[in-house]
Structure 1
Amino acid sequence: MQQFDVIVVGGGMVGASVALKLAHSGLQVALVERQTPAVYQAQQPLDLRVSAINQRSERWLTELGAWSLLQQWRLCPYRRLQAFEGDTPGLTFTADELNLSHLGHIVENSLIQQALWQQFPEQLTVFSPATVTGFSQQQALAQLTTKEFGCLSAQLVIAADGGQSQLRQLAGIGSTGWMYQQACLVLEVDTELPQQDITWQQFHPTGPRAMLPLSGHKASLVWYDAHQKVQQLAALSLPELSRQVQAAFPAKLGAVQVTRCAWFPLARNHANSYAKGRLVLVGDAAHSINPLAGQGVNLGFADARVLCEVLLSANTGALASAELLARYEKERRRANALMMSAMDGFYQLFSNELPPLKLARQLGLTLAERAGPLKRLVSRYAVL
């Protein structure tokens, strides 16, 4: 049985960043991942899954050495962020208001993962592809059983294995959540307009519609609607789906042609505890959020950063101390719960067609646009 200081289960964006940071800090780290990512190729197709990376996450990826690769590969900066309803001007945040070069970048999820994996040092032991078949805890160690590599043990196991976390379930950590009434259709489109510097969301009673710019004449569109509607749209031919998009999205989108699409249901889930014994949760394993503002991966990277700071402040032999893991949970649970509640608040506010409420939210967007210092404070929190 091979023994490590830390085993990270899940080599996606968040898990890979944790494993990389801890390995660079001198700990004996193993990463267990079900599917090894492909090596980056310049001609590889765009990933339908993209994230709006804020500047906090950008600094984290820079620290890990991944950001310089992403700059050489593909990413799209945005300098403006807009939220509006109907044909109203709505609320716009700009980089100029904060004296910044940009607010964030739209980056393909697969590229972030590939850039992190390319930075893995020799001392980071990778077990992939690997299937976890068991997890147990003893007084001194946690033990992970894999189909391909047998038993592994460590002082601490970090679960970064997604919203349906197998490790969370094996450890008996419950969660609270629900399925939303909406589903999400993601579309890759060719655009008549060149690369834009703005990402926007238009709110509708049936759900928001968003545009995220990509490199060149490309963009990612997100269409939230009822499950049945989304499934019907996803079943259309690409030419017919393109026509539906042109009719449903605002004219500012310009002409587009859908090249690919996929859909998925929306769920909220929050673990009842972020740690149990020698297991600790990060990212989607701890919390799944309505992706309304694209904050999921940013929250996950914030988890990763705080957990690494906490672990590296301890003696090597005390990585799984209850006090240490409680510090991590105390800092991250409140921030994650706040963002989850804020996204649910937007979800409820903009899905209600009562005339007084509709008037109030349109007035609220107008007042927020003119709020000056308050608007800058909110935008700084979201970006920095």
Structure 2
Amino acid sequence: MKADQTLKERKLYVPDAPNASTGILNGQSSNVLNWDDVRYSWAYPLYKQMLSNFWTPFEINMSGDRKQYAELARDEQDAFNKIIGLLAFLDSIQTDYANRVANYLTDSSLTALMTVLAFQEVVHNQSYSYVLSSLVDKGKQDEIFEYWKHDAVLKERNEFIMEGYEAFVNNPTPETFLESIVYDVVLEGLNFYSGFSFFYNLARNQRMVSTSTMINYINRDEQLHVNLFTKIYGAVVAEFDLDKKEAAHFVEKTFKKAAELEIKWGKYIIGDRFPGISTSELDAYIKFISNIRVNQLGAERPFPEHRKNPMPWIKAYESVNEGKSDFFEQKSRQYTKVSEDNGFDEL
């Protein structure tokens, strides 16, 4: 198939096609899922990992955070609210994007994974409502969920991703599909991270620990989502007549711009206002994370000088290892290790 060929939506069922698909896009598949007869060997282990991460917001007791939120400084409350508003927008759009992607995947195991992913995004989005309903009144919650429409810095960041998504939705080809995945990895693998760092910095000072625990659960899910999309990206590159050098150039160029926008957002929302995170550290951290994601997509690092995590303390919050308690022993749970990508300190 050529890069400019239009993608066809998956049929509901195809009786004369094999259960294991013949290809990831525009392939032949009965659309019947047999986990012991699938095309991609990594699909089932990833499915099990996603299931092992299952959680709901109602598990988190917000009573301590309710008291501490009122004690936060004005700048801290403002950053807290705007970051929650950003996350709510991103995960809302991400739910729909996952369903759009699933429509064109002609492998039933990948469709199933995308369905689980979309469900997890719904849980994430509901968790933001849960946090806010525990801390502020309904009027303030509604205001926070409107930030994405009016905040200029936030709009610029979001529109960068949305343009990439809409290019695929409006013209579904292997090339626009692949490019939208790059934007997805930006969204799930980079755009959350300055905001996450704000919550983790509060947690390491024993503040807003319940919210940060919830963010930690979301973080683990997003790492798996990035893992899934990078594997889909690799499968599309391998199966289609795409210019690999051009694809790699697009990845590098996109992440350079994404990092620029994320750094701008980090300075705007965090800056040097909160002890424990400096602008220079956050800038370097964003570039470091960008390098990780670009590596996962098989391209060259856009920031080769940033190979070491400048905020190593954050590792404790980015992953929960099997058999260990959540940070500060808030509650003990058993989790499967997410992937080899967890807790990078060096490249």
The bucket for the TM-score relative to the shorter chain is: under 0.3
Please state which structure has a larger fraction of its residues in helix: 2
Please state which structure has a larger fraction of its residues in strand: 1
TM-score relative to the length of structure 2: 0.26
TM-score relative to the length of structure 1: 0.24
**Greater Cα radius of gyration, structure 1 or 2:** 1
